[in-house]
Structure 1
Amino acid sequence: MQDVEEKNVTKVAYVIKLADNLVSINKTQYRIVEDHDSGFNEERIEERYNNVLDKYDYIVGDWGYDQLRFKGFYEDQRKESTLDNRISHLEDYLLEYCNFGCAYFVLEKVKKAPLKNNHRRTNHRFKTRTNKFVKNVNKSKPHNNQHKRKPTRHKKTTVSAKKTFKIRKIGEKNK
């Protein structure tokens, strides 16, 4: 009899440590930005990694109850990013969703997808937090989403005579 039984573990990803702070996961290079309490473990990453994480700019792995959990984050300027998955909210994620004082690591993708130039114009008519509405300064030129429309003509509505209903009690016969 063998004292140690080997577990049949299938590798989901191939992790190769290239340098002290450089690692390759499925031929994609990541830089180890932070390794808190030696949370980075190559073997466990190979077992638990999911290919969905490839689309993110940052991958965070945290440990809780001896289980490795992943979360992906985007750059703040990305169009795909929401408030919850922006890298600037990493500290909030660690405080709210991770066990207190747990080991974790942060990986940054070396070759990120290029950022699109999606700057906002200053003279727009969208609602902001500080102002109710920001007025368009140049009124001769409409903004991109402000099309010149023909005035709509509404049909005149006629007011019909009010109907009156007689309320009768239950059990009362029609008269």
Structure 2
Amino acid sequence: MKFLQEPEEKEVTKQADVIVLADKLITINGEKYDIVEDHDGGFDQEKVEERYNTVLDKYDYIVGDWGYEQLRFKGFYEDERKESGIDNRISHLEDYLLEYCNFGCAYFVLEKEKKAPIAKHHRGHRGPRKQTGKVHTSHSSNHAPTHKKNHSFHTTKINKNKKGTVTQHTHHNKKKTNSSTKTRNFKIRKIGEKS
């Protein structure tokens, strides 16, 4: 007499350690992420643990979307980051959701809490035009587009001391930003919503 043997369940190996700390805060392998969007309950802790790949660690945002009962991931960078290309800038998230995801699918967006600093690109300042002792103001048209956001203008003042030596003082006037207010660098238009 033969006994029917129950099929063995496949043991699923965890690819990542995911811990839910609060309603919208998780850690993946010790790195903190905010769940900034959870459309139709797309975030599933167990599935993220099974499917996560450490290649995603380098991105500022991680998007998980569901298709045919499978979870897939896509990484995005802040727009200003030099590593970002047109297809992985967070401002293009809506395009990705509309073009590459199943219509009306569940998805989630994770934002890394401690992102790597964004390198600022500086072009050399051309210096004063003529040493006349006047204050010269050069507007931000001489600066790279990313530089334009950070500095409103440069002021170069020429001073002569008692010995006749010329000294220059350059002041960078930065725009003040309030770091306590957090704004999203992307927007998501729900399917069926008018823009």
Q: TM-score, normalised by structure 2?
A: 0.60
The one-letter amino acid of 1:87's match is I
The equivalences for 1:75-154 within 5 A come to: 75-118=78-121, 122-123=141-142
CA distance in 2, matches of 1:58, 1:64: 20
| Residues paired across the two proteins, number | 125
Q: Write out per-residue CA displacement over residues 53-107 of structure 1, whole angstroms, 9 at most, x where no aligned residue.
A: 0000000000000000000000011011011000000000000000000000000
Q: Write out per-residue CA displacement over residues 114-144 of structure 1, whole angstroms, 9 at most, x where no aligned residue.
A: 11112677348xxxxxxxxxxxxxxxxxxxx
Equivalent position SS for 1:84: helix
Aligned residues with identical type, % of pairs: 75
CA distance in 1, matches of 2:87, 2:59: 13
Structure 1 unaligned spans of 5+ = 125-175
Matched, 1:43 2:62: no
Higher helix share: 2
The one-letter amino acid of 2:93's match is L
2:167 aligns with none
The equivalences for 1:163-174 within 5 A come to: none
2:189 aligns with none
Q: CA 1:119–1:107 in structure 2 vs 1: closer, same or farther (change >3 Å)?
A: farther
1:7 aligns with 10
CA distance in 1, matches of 2:86, 2:122: 17
Q: CA RMSD in A?
A: 1.9
Equivalent position SS for 1:39: coil
Higher alpha-carbon Rg: 1
1:57 aligns with 60
Deviation at 1:4, TM superposition (A): 7.2
The one-letter amino acid of 2:92's match is H
Q: TM-score, normalised by structure 1?
A: 0.67
CA distance in 2, matches of 1:114, 1:23: 21
**Pairing partner for 1:34 from 26, 37, 42:** 37
CA distance in 1, matches of 2:70, 2:57: 21
**Pairing partner for 1:71 from 63, 74, 81:** 74
Equivalent position SS for 1:18: strand
2:22 aligns with 19
